[in-house]
Amino acid sequence: MNIKPTDEAALELALKENREIKTEEKPLDREPILEAILKDLSETSSLKKSSELAEIIFKELRQALPGEFRGVKQAPFMVLNGISRPAILIEVGFLSNQEDCYFLSTDYGKRIIAEKIAEGIRRFGLMVLEERSLKELQSKPAGPVK
């Protein structure tokens, strides 16, 4: 997957996190060109949808949580590599920040975060269903003209 980081900090974080992940050794078999193209198309579509999902959940969380927000970032995290469905990582605070730590440790804080993430996923799902319905309508042949 060819994910370009949104900034240097995102890239540094991804590199740090990726060093912690042990990977399996894979044989050096080359994929046929068609398979590689299809895989790239799938990952590109998934990356676009992942970005849309991240923006929707970000907006939901921003409405409910106090404090500063760093925005939506992209970087090549290994845990998201090769996933053919929308996938995101969510950072909702820092345990090194006393206010964040307190909020994240309360049942209220956890409930608000879970509800906002769930609402974002629900909104994203409705958006995907609407897009599919429009595509289906556009692909159906027009009925006979009378």
Quick: pLDDT tens for 18-58: 777 765 555 545 567 766 666 666 667 788 899 999 999 99
pTM of the predicted model as reported, rounded to 2 decimal places: 0.71
CA distance 43 to 26: 20
Burial letters for 111-146: b for 16+ Cβ neighbours within 10 Å, e otherwise?
ebbeebbebbeeebeeeeeeeeeeeeeeeeeeeeee
Quick: pLDDT tens for 84-96: 789 999 999 888 9
| Closest residue by Cα to residue 49 from 138, 131, 119, 113 | 131
CA distance 97 to 109: 15
What pLDDT is attached to residue 4? 73
CA distance 123 to 22: 35
